[in-house]
Amino acid sequence: MLSRGGLLALVGAASSVAASTYKVPSKPGIGGEPFDGFVSYSIEFSSFPDFAGNRSNPNTFSYNLINNLGALGGTRPYIRVGGNTQDYALYNASQEPALVGVVDPSRSPDYPTTIHIGRAYFESYRTWPGVRFSNGLNMGLGGTRPAGWQTLVDTVPLACEALGGRLYTWAYGNEPDLFSTSAQGPVRPPAWDEGAYVWQWLNATAEIRRQVDRFCPEMGPPRFMAPSFAGVDNRLSARKTWEAGLDQNEDIEFFSTHNYISGATSPGVTLQGTLMNHAVTTQSVDRHTAEYASIFPDAPDSAPPLIFGETNSLYNQGKPGLSNTFGAALWGVDFNLYSASVGVRRVHMHQGTNYRYQAWQPISTDKGSVGTKAPYYGSIAVAAMVAPSNKHPVRISSIPLSSDVHEAAYAAHSSGQLARIAVINMHAYNTTVDGAGLEPLPSPDARRSRRYTFAVEGVRDGQTVRVQRLLANGSDAITGITYDGWSYNWDLDRGKPVRLHNVTVGETMRVQKGEVSVQVPDSSAVLLTFGQS
């Protein structure tokens, strides 16, 4: 990690690059107000017992990391339990283990595709007090096998019992737009279309409603996140499902869509060109907001709010050297803040045991050791940026910069006043050639620092500005990462924040002549918080 002297050298380096003065919007846009728990997670259904543990052995490491985000952002993350494996899970009432899964490498080397869960699976919901969940139900097999339908009937009461008022939505089916084309094996025929999907959805959600009315009527009518499609241009159209009556019962609480910037094995994917690239991120997010606007053009206020129910960097569970790096953490900051600025109300970053893009590895396995991963630090920075100020919600807006490729900036307003500015410098600085560990690069003095100056209308001269930095030795780093000098590593205090003493902290500056200026080293980010004069 950067030493105290190293950071001071970077931010004051002669190699710094000057920039224009950028105008911060005096008032936020009408969108851009994230929900509480904006920084949230989606956990693979088959991995959830690893992440949460059970009543006799709760995973306190995971809970510590979740509580860190709650302390910064004001609300703990909301947890969506789902993913591909929810559509493989069948219930076995006589099974003692929480989950028994069989991995078929020809279908997926990363998760089981034959899964049976027992009653003990639902103990995991009880291990994180104060956390709210959505529960994933099996649509993939639920519409084709009697055991799949019976799993829905049997497990709705178990989820009710385990969660009570902490269940905030149900999720019936994961990415049904891929059911007829799935690389893991199609579970619907080629003729599967929007009409067939909607009929099955309405039939099953009616059964869920019957089970809730019977076993947990105090929870009220069930609410759903849907359609949980994998993308915008796949086999099924979200717009056509709405036209076919998907929400005819007006029980869809969130319009949930999934997004990945690219794929782990897609040609030409690089850290700088794909992830640390603001233009790629905006294009990807904008496709989803455009789809949403096309479905709800006339009544946006009454439409289910838009969320990313599952998202991360590279689908197929990420790629080593890309999805697990500090550069991916910087991408996560940009992706989340841009999403918030254009009206996405909550973002569930997906993860699973041994996944390459995970925020943390919950347990040790033969493929990886328990520990906090680089992307988690991106979540920390986002939580700090979107935190309510004096319990008033914030609105996030984008600050246009001279370049829209490798840098981005955002403003957070609260009660109409500027509260924070975030700057993400995504110009790559690797500690090894191409991040591949071939040979050391020249001295760290070669790392450039760029100056960003902002005109902050409405902020009094002399007002104190607090500076907090998201730092690592380079974009390809997978360890040695800090936010404002804090480490959340497993080996220090099981994920609880630990202040390090070899990183510069406590930086402040003052607004002068209506401007504030900050230097940001390549491959790092900074959060400016406006205090009192």
Q: What is the CATH number of the domain that holds 443?
A: 2.60.40
**Domain contains 241:** yes
Question: Which string of b and e fits 30-68 if b means at least 16 CB within 10 Å?
Answer: ebbbbbbbbbbbbbbbbbbbbbbbbeeebbebbbbbbbb
Q: Looking at the 3D structure of the chain, how many domains does it have? A: 2
Q: Catalytic one among 123, 194, 253, 291?
A: 194
Q: Are 262 and 376 in a shared domain?
A: yes
260 or 8, which is more confident: 260
Q: Are 370 and 405 in a shared domain?
A: no
- Give Cβ neighbours of residue 399 (< 8 Å, ≥ 6 apart): 22, 23, 24, 25, 409, 410, 411, 421, 454
**Domain contains 16:** no
Q: Are 117 and 265 in a shared domain?
A: yes
Q: Is 439 a catalytic residue?
A: no
Which of 393, 417, 446 is the last residue before a domain boundary? Answer: 393
Average pLDDT over residues 462-490: 97
Q: Are 318 and 288 in a shared domain?
A: yes
The two beta strands, 79-82 and 407-414, are: unpaired
Q: Are 222 and 183 in a shared domain?
A: yes
**Domain contains 354:** yes
Which of 366, 393, 420 is the last residue before a domain boundary? Answer: 393
Q: Are 384 and 435 in a shared domain?
A: no
Give the CA count within 13 Å in the CB-facing half-sphere of 380: 32
**Radius of gyration (C-alpha) of the chain in whole angstroms:** 23
Q: Are 408 and 500 in a shared domain?
A: yes
Asked if residues 23 and 453 have their Cβ atoms less than 8 Å apart, the reply is no
pLDDT at site 349: 98
Going by pLDDT thresholds of 50, 70 and 90, the confidence category of residue 8 is: very low
Q: Are 135 and 203 in a shared domain?
A: yes
Classified as helix, coil or strand, 81 is: strand
Q: Give φ, ψ of 348 to 5 degrees.
A: -100, 105
pLDDT in tens, 186-203: 999 999 999 999 999 999
C-alpha pair distances (Å), 277 with each of 190, 210, 327, 330, 374: 36, 47, 10, 10, 18
pLDDT at site 368: 94
Q: Which domain holds residue 494?
A: 395-530
Query: What is the CATH number for 157?
Result: 3.20.20.80
Provide the token pair at 317: 């569970």
Q: Which amino acid is at 523?
A: S
d(CA 447, CA 468): 19
Q: Are 290 and 419 in a shared domain?
A: no
- pLDDT at residue 73 tops 50: yes
Q: Taking the model in full, what pTM does it have?
A: 0.95
Q: Is 310 a catalytic residue?
A: yes
pLDDT in tens, 382-409: 999 999 876 788 999 999 998 889 999 9
- pLDDT at residue 86 tops 60: yes
Q: Classify residue 126 by its DSSP letter.
A: G
**Domain contains 267:** yes
Which of 393, 416, 447 is the last residue before a domain boundary? Answer: 393
